[in-house]
Chain A
Amino acid sequence: MVMQPTRCSDDKPGDPSYATHLAAFEARVARGDKVEPGDWMPWDYRQQLIRLIHVHANSEICGALPEGGWIPHAPTFKRKLALCAKVQDEVGHGQLLYRAAETLGKSREEMIDELITGKAKYSNVFHYHAKTWADVCVIAWLIDAAAIVNQTMMADGSYGPYGRALKRICYEEAFHLTHGYDMCISLATGSKVQREMLQDAVNRWWDPIMMFHGPSDKESTHTELLMRWRIKLMTNDEQRQTFLKKYLPKVFNLGLTVPDPNLRFDETEKVWHYTEPNWKRFLEVVRGGGPASALRLATRRMAHEEGAWVRRALFAVESGKRVPMPTAA
């Protein structure tokens, strides 16, 4: 089912009372008021939010895939339980976000279709393979940390339904981050083999992590508008700095190094200098050219197709059948 995104009257530049509506809208946003689904909003605001929330939802769904594959191989029962819980959280976050995007007028069905047909993007970091258990640890710690920097900031953004979903998501991600750090501490304080495995994972994940917050402010095309409408409250480079300032000292404290010879902290400017990521490569990856891109979509498509019988069964309610809630014995 394709829904037509809701239109407000005169919501495009050049429409008769666009300027009046826009002034009231921008005044509301500037004073920190939230925008709710029934409100007048510029067409561009709606489109930018649909784009961002859709990509975010897809990233939660695809983010569950590299970790999900490791559930059978978790080293202890406790780690296995925690990983199951994290994977379930990520899929739940995807559902919350599809619903938030839907309030802007794009159907969940359309978003799911665009993901499995490769039309819609998801985060660069999930286009790579999780080769060892240490990759699972690095993803859970550093990638969730980078995501939390982004999501905590977005949670204060101007669109009510997205903010509400993000507050719940951030609450749950706090467990992922803590558990991720816990796993990295285990490896970093373990045997030589464990320490080398962790270092190897950091080496391979460093580039994708540095790209996680998106193109540099010099190259980012949407930033100015997104910040004016308080969809985003920090630029990509500001988010990257926040992440580096908080987590690099922790990385070094574990006795790890990162593979960037230009990395240094400037004491006077209070910023980390680093080798600029290869943004051309970033775009190739998010467009489906990463090492695991084809595998991710194939897995997602398989899950969707092979789960069709479950959806058919749920629809059998129309013929008098029902799915009962579990009851206490």
Chain B
Amino acid sequence: MTTDTQWRVFEVFHQQSRGEPHIHVGSVHATDGESALLMAKEQFGRRQACVNIWVVPAEAITETRYEDADIFEHGTDKSYREAFGYETTKRARAIGDTKEL
């Protein structure tokens, strides 16, 4: 029986180029952050472009529950939060503003 292979889980985020967001690509098992970076580099950085990797201990992540997904549903019309929720172009034209808003 082995007793030394059940390492901690680290979630891996990679950045394909400067200016892009870090994107979650998967997870690795490792004993600490440094070795997790090494594992992540081998597992997720051996082909496609990558300029930076984050590793985060999985236990450090707090998440919502899928069964509570209704918290994301909108109880009321939220179009007032969006540009498309306004007919301002029409109103601007009416007062002689023909330029882009």
Interface positions of A (Cβ within 8 A of B) = 1, 36, 38-40, 88, 92, 95-96, 99, 102, 107-109, 112-113, 116, 164-165, 168, 172, 304, 308, 311-312, 314-315, 317-318, 322-326
Report yes or no: B4 in contact with A312, Cβ–Cβ below 8 A.
yes
Given contacts A38-B65, A108-B29, A314-B31, whether A95 and B5 have CB atoms under 8 Å apart is no
Q: 9 additional contacts, CB 8 Å, given A36-B66, A317-B31?
A: A109-B6, A113-B1, A172-B47, A314-B7, A314-B35, A317-B32, A317-B34, A323-B34, A323-B38
Provide 18 A-B residue pairs closer than 8 Å at the C-beta atoms, listed in order of the A residue.
A38-B65, A39-B66, A39-B67, A95-B28, A95-B29, A95-B43, A96-B26, A99-B26, A99-B28, A102-B9, A107-B6, A108-B29, A109-B2, A113-B2, A168-B26, A314-B35, A323-B38, A325-B37
Report yes or no: B5 in contact with A88, Cβ–Cβ below 8 A.
no
A269 to B67, CA, bound (A): 46
Given contacts A109-B2, A323-B34, whether A99 and B67 have CB atoms under 8 Å apart is no
Report yes or no: A99 in contact with B1, Cβ–Cβ below 8 A.
no
Report yes or no: A112 in contact with B2, Cβ–Cβ below 8 A.
yes
User: How close is B36's CB to chain A, nearest CB, in angstroms?
Assistant: 10
Which 7 pairs, one residue from A and one from B, show the smallest C-beta to C-beta distance?
Answer: A109-B6, A317-B32, A1-B6, A314-B31, A323-B35, A311-B4, A109-B5
| Number of residues on chain B facing chain A (CB within 8 A) | 29
Report yes or no: B34 in contact with A315, Cβ–Cβ below 8 A.
no
A-facing mask of B39-51, CB < 8 A → 1, else 0?
0011100110000
A304 to B2, CA, bound (A): 9
A1 to B5, CA, bound (A): 9
Q: Which of chain B's residues have a CB closer than 8 A to the CB of A326? A: 38
Q: Which of chain B's residues have a CB closer than 8 A to the CB of A322? A: 32, 34
A16 to B43, CA, bound (A): 44
Q: Which of chain B's residues have a CB closer than 8 A to the CB of A314? A: 7, 30-31, 35
Tell me the dominant secondary structure on chain A's binding face. Answer: helix
CB-nearest residue of chain A to B37: A325
User: How close is B46's CB to chain A, nearest CB, in angstroms?
Assistant: 7
Q: Which of chain B's residues have a CB closer than 8 A to the CB of A39? A: 66-67
Report yes or no: A99 in contact with B31, Cβ–Cβ below 8 A.
no
Q: Which of chain B's residues have a CB closer than 8 A to the CB of A102? A: 9
CB-nearest residue of chain A to B32: A317
Given contacts A95-B43, A315-B31, A322-B32, whether A108 and B6 have CB atoms under 8 Å apart is yes
Q: Which of chain B's residues have a CB closer than 8 A to the CB of A38? A: 63, 65-67
Report yes or no: B6 in contact with A40, Cβ–Cβ below 8 A.
no
A322 to B34, CA, bound (A): 7
Q: Which of chain A's residues have a CB closer than 8 A to the CB of B4? A: 308, 311-312, 315
Report yes or no: B26 in contact with A108, Cβ–Cβ below 8 A.
no
CB-nearest residue of chain A to B1: A113
Q: Which of chain A's residues have a CB closer than 8 A to the CB of B41? A: 325
A326 to B39, CA, bound (A): 12
A304 to B4, CA, bound (A): 11
A151 to B22, CA, bound (A): 27
Quick one: which of B26, B28, B34, B66 contacts A325, CB cutoff 8 A?
A: B34
Q: Which of chain B's residues have a CB closer than 8 A to the CB of A325? A: 34, 37-38, 41
User: How close is B87's CB to chain A, nearest CB, in angstroms?
Assistant: 36
User: How close is A98's CB to chain B, nearest CB, in angstroms?
Assistant: 8
A95 to B40, CA, bound (A): 11
Report yes or no: B5 in contact with A165, Cβ–Cβ below 8 A.
no
CB-nearest residue of chain A to B41: A325
A315 to B29, CA, bound (A): 12
Q: Which of chain B's residues have a CB closer than 8 A to the CB of A116? A: 2
- Within 37-95 of B, Cβ neighbours of A (below 8 Å) are at 37-38, 41-43, 46-47, 63, 65-67
A116 to B67, CA, bound (A): 38
Given contacts A99-B9, A99-B27, A109-B2, whether A92 and B34 have CB atoms under 8 Å apart is no
A304 to B34, CA, bound (A): 22
Q: Which of chain B's residues have a CB closer than 8 A to the CB of A92? A: 42-43, 46
CB-nearest residue of chain A to B27: A99
